[in-house]
Amino acid sequence: AMQHFRKHNQPSEEALQKERSLYQTLAKIYDSLRKNKKYPFAREMSLECYRAAANIEDPEAQYILGKNLLEEAKFREGLQKEDIFASS
């Protein structure tokens, strides 16, 4: 609902700050549920929360999201170098 409101109206800084804090809180909840077999997609959900917060220019979320993407890229690069998933 907040994203829809933001598309059609110019939100106040207070509303943006509240939305950022809600995304941060939700992401931290999902982070705490990682490695819990009842929540197999907790990592993806937390990253999506950080992505949504980064879209409204939350610097902490941008940092966390960038760090995770960089770690994943390094991991994939290592797999490519080891010819595990290298395409011929």
Q: Which percentage of the chain shows pLDDT scores above 90?
A: 55
Q: Is the dihedral of CA 73, 74, 75, 76 positive or negative?
A: positive
Report d(CA 13, CA 41) in Å as an integer.
Answer: 32
Per-residue pLDDT averaged across 58-85, rounded? 89
> Under a CB-based contact definition with an 8 Å cutoff, are residues 33 and 42 in contact?
yes
User: Is-above-0.85 flag for pTM?
Assistant: no
Q: How many DSSP H helices and E strands does the chain contain?
A: 4, 0
